[in-house]
Amino acid sequence: MTELEKCMAGKYYNCHDKVFLDFKSNARNLLKEYHSLSYEQKKEKTQILNRLFGKIGTNVSVGLPFVCDYGRNIYIGNNVSVNMNCTFVDCNKITIGDNVLIASNVQLYTAAHPVELSERLTPDWNPEVEQYFCRTYALPITIENGCWLGGGVIVLPGVTIGAGTVIGAGSVVTKNIPENSLAVGNPCHVVRKINNS
């Protein structure tokens, strides 16, 4: 199994493998170009996002600054607004549906490390080898159609947020949230159902 296959399967992988360093380098170059464009250069910005992301729909805006790890693992539907200062750590797949609002300072993290120190440290790590001293794994994030993530929301690895759901500002989403819910807090929890459900 290659390091890329391990990563996408949610297994420990070497995040310093050449394939990931190449992905990061490509993303940094495209982001540098993206950040150099003015607000009015929408056509040019869309062309860069088409090269950066795995898939992008129509009527998508991504505010500046924007940071991502690889870009290639981000899949965005139609009518999506990503406001300024968002960070998408897309070591695994990030899927964003249609008609989604993502407010400023939202952070989507697919990458993680084991909690226990004995599991977190890479066994027999050698600084001479191109390998990270900590074990890393990544799990996908899915934001379904019609969601709104408020300012400063953090979404952790492996989480799915159901269609039509609103996540209140500052929430830390540690587990799946069902569709048509208003959810808030740290850890994020459902307060009530919405959208006549």
CATH code, 73: 2.160.10.10
How confident is the model over 111-121, as a mean pLDDT? Answer: 94
In this prediction, what percent of the chain has a pLDDT beyond 90?
92
| The pLDDT value given to residue 110 | 98
How confident is the model over 99-126, as a mean pLDDT? Answer: 94
| The pLDDT value given to residue 129 | 78
Q: Is the pLDDT of residue 130 over 80?
A: no
How confident is the model over 38-50, as a mean pLDDT? Answer: 94
Most distant CA atoms of the chain, gap in Å? 59
Which residues are tagged catalytic? Answer: 113
Q: Which domain holds residue 145?
A: 3-193
Q: Name the nearest CA neighbour of 183 among 103, 97, 170, 196.
A: 170
| The pLDDT value given to residue 137 | 96
CB 134 within 8 A of CB 152: no
How confident is the model over 123-132, as a mean pLDDT? Answer: 82
Q: Report the chain's mean pLDDT, rounded to a whole number.
A: 96
In this prediction, what percent of the chain has a pLDDT beyond 70?
100
| The pLDDT value given to residue 131 | 79
| The pLDDT value given to residue 83 | 98
How confident is the model over 44-53, as a mean pLDDT? Answer: 96
pTM reported for the whole predicted model: 0.95
- The string of pLDDT tens digits covering residues 139-183 is 999 999 999 999 999 999 999 999 999 999 999 999 999 999 999
Q: Name the nearest CA neighbour of 87 among 63, 101, 68.
A: 68
Structure confidence at residue 106 as a pLDDT band (50, 70, 90) = very high
Q: How many domains does the chain have?
A: 1
* DSSP at 39: T
| The pLDDT value given to residue 128 | 82
Q: Name the nearest CA neighbour of 100 among 49, 47, 164, 42.
A: 164
Structure confidence at residue 39 as a pLDDT band (50, 70, 90) = confident
